[in-house]
Structure 1
């Protein structure tokens, strides 16, 4: 069945890989929602519809969600908690159930050892107004909803041309230090294609065999 997939933050790097995977592996139609449509290149008008909008503007968001079967949110903003609240409300109002939500490694203080200490130092672990604090609040909004959400917490991201990843569940220690954006994009496609398998899951994602005190390239 062809789905209408709403991609919030469609100009992001991970979103770009997810778009490529969705166009290649599915027949889905993609609704590319962004504040900066001029940054979208090579749009396939038969498979993609560009929507200029802002998730902080509820009327614009609601109009887009009304067209969707699935929402994939790839957002980075100090107001991400408010964005999460707006998205959950719009999905509830329009009867859309599946949400794929990109979050961050370390929001649950789930990263063990020296790498966990380094990650907290870099991202402000334990501080409410830090990067991790705001992403944790947004993830809490999603997980408290009645949506069939999948939260994805990537390790530190690389631009390697590879799909190589493993996952951990919430409550399990995070593994590895890095993962490619291409891997996350392909996982997004997998989640959208198999909603029942991933419903109400919260997944850490890393490349196998990358354990260390920090990413090898940092």
Structure 2
């Protein structure tokens, strides 16, 4: 990856964190701003630094000046590594946001796609389970779970699919999946009751959504 590719990677990260109208500026004559983005009715001027060493004062100064040039409300610097102490102090003084350790690979979007696929499967399974529970006489098909499990699967998959960018939605999805994990796997294991191996799959989104919520909280503090 080079600096130009990193700018587009940062644009994707911003989109995943609730920014809209994310636009990468021209590579030349950008006045210190690589990306223009909007969030909460504020316009952000963002500089991206793909470095092999900590980012210093100059990047903060350029972002601050560039944000003023583009009439932005906030300035931001994103980097794949960290910032020097001087850069951090200057950013606090000028009100420039700093995002460090931005991922340089596509794992983030890949994870979103995998979780979206899993949520679609859980949603369809939940809908099917609810349908069969409502029509037991017409369709005497036995599937693992009951009406409550079906309703919770639908709710968790909707929270997970639509709320990937939001902390509360991730916590809601993770909490529901955690309950399902306890109800369908862990408690039966403790009581020596039978449970299906396929029910172990519900442990995966439990961990991912809780960790992703923590990741979102950490990046919102930058």
Q: Same fold (TM over 0.5)?
A: no
Greater helix fraction, Structure 1 or Structure 2 = 2
Structure of larger gyration radius = 2
TM-score normalized by the length of structure 1: 0.30
TM-score normalized by the length of structure 2: 0.30
Greater strand fraction, Structure 1 or Structure 2 = 1
